[in-house]
Chain A
Amino acid sequence: MAADPQITEERLNAIRDEAARTGKVQHGGIVPADSPFPKSALEMSYHGNPVLKPPTWTWQVPLYFFVGGVAGVSALMALVGHVTGNSALVRAELLVGLVGGAISAPLLIADLGRPGRFLNMLRVFKPRSAMSLGAWTLSGFSAAVGLAVICHELLRAGYGHEFLLAVEWFAEFLAAFTGLILASYTSVLLGVTAIPVWSENRRLIPAVFLTGALGSAAAVLEFLGFLIPATQLIGLVASTTEIVIAILIEVRDRYADRPLREGIAGWLTRAGAILAGPVSLLLRIYGVHSTGARYCAALCFIAGALIARYAWIAAGRASARDPQALFQIQRRDRNTTSAI
Chain B
Amino acid sequence: MAVSAFLTDATLCIGCKACEVACKEWNHVPADGFTFTGNSYDNTNALGASTWRHVMFLEQPSSLGAQITGTDDPFRWQFLSDVCKHCQKAGCLEACPTGAIIRTELETVYVQPDVCNGCGYCVVSCPFGVVDKNHEVGTAFKCTFCYDRQREGLMPACAKACPTQSIQFGEINDLRKRAHVRVQELHERGYSDAQIYDPQKTSVEGTHAMFVILGEPETYNFPPAPEVPTVHMKSAWTAAIISALAVVLVVCVSFAL
- For the complex formed, measure the closest distance between the CB of A74 and the CB atoms of chain B, giving whole angstroms: 10
Contact check: which of A36, A112, A199 meets B232 at CB < 8 Å?
A199
Residues of B within 8 A of A231 (CB): 254
The B106-143 residues at the A interface (CB cut-off 8 A) are 115-121, 123-133, 135, 138
Whether B251 and A118, one on each chain, are in contact in the complex, defined by CB atoms closer than 8 angstroms, is no
Residues of B within 8 A of A195 (CB): 124
Whether A77 and B123, one on each chain, are in contact in the complex, defined by CB atoms closer than 8 angstroms, is no
Contact check: which of A112, A233, A234, A327 meets B218 at CB < 8 Å?
A327
Whether A330 and B232, one on each chain, are in contact in the complex, defined by CB atoms closer than 8 angstroms, is no
Nearest neighbor of B226 in chain A, beta-carbon distance: A330
CA distance A52 to B223 in the complex (A): 10
One digit per residue, 1 when the CB lies within 8 angstroms of any chain B CB and 0 when it does not, for chain A 189-210 equals 1011111001100111111011
Nearest neighbor of B116 in chain A, beta-carbon distance: A120
Residue A140 CB within 8 A of the other chain: no
The interface size of chain A toward B, counting residues with CB under 8 Å, comes to 89
Whether B235 and A40, one on each chain, are in contact in the complex, defined by CB atoms closer than 8 angstroms, is no
Residues of A within 8 A of B119 (CB): 111-112, 121, 131
Residue A128 CB within 8 A of the other chain: yes
Residues of B within 8 A of A191 (CB): 232, 235-236, 239
Residues of B within 8 A of A202 (CB): 232, 235-236, 239
CA distance A51 to B47 in the complex (A): 10
Residues of B within 8 A of A161 (CB): none
- For the complex formed, measure the closest distance between the CB of A177 and the CB atoms of chain B, giving whole angstroms: 10
Residue B100 CB within 8 A of the other chain: yes
Whether A38 and B40, one on each chain, are in contact in the complex, defined by CB atoms closer than 8 angstroms, is yes
CA distance A102 to B190 in the complex (A): 66
CA distance A112 to B119 in the complex (A): 6
Whether A124 and B123, one on each chain, are in contact in the complex, defined by CB atoms closer than 8 angstroms, is no
Nearest neighbor of A332 in chain B, beta-carbon distance: B225
Contact check: which of B38, B59, B216, B229 meets A192 at CB < 8 Å?
B229
Residue B30 CB within 8 A of the other chain: no
One digit per residue, 1 when the CB lies within 8 angstroms of any chain B CB and 0 when it does not, for chain A 206-245 equals 1101110110000000000000011101100100000000
Contact check: which of A41, A53, A207, A327 meets B129 at CB < 8 Å?
A53
Whether A333 and B225, one on each chain, are in contact in the complex, defined by CB atoms closer than 8 angstroms, is yes
Contact check: which of B126, B240, B256 meets A52 at CB < 8 Å?
B126
**Beyond A45-B221, A188-B237, A340-B200, 6 extra complex contacts between A and B, CB < 8 Å:** A36-B38, A131-B95, A194-B227, A213-B247, A237-B254, A320-B124
Q: Which 5 A-B pairs have the closest CB atoms?
A: A132-B97, A339-B225, A117-B117, A46-B221, A40-B61
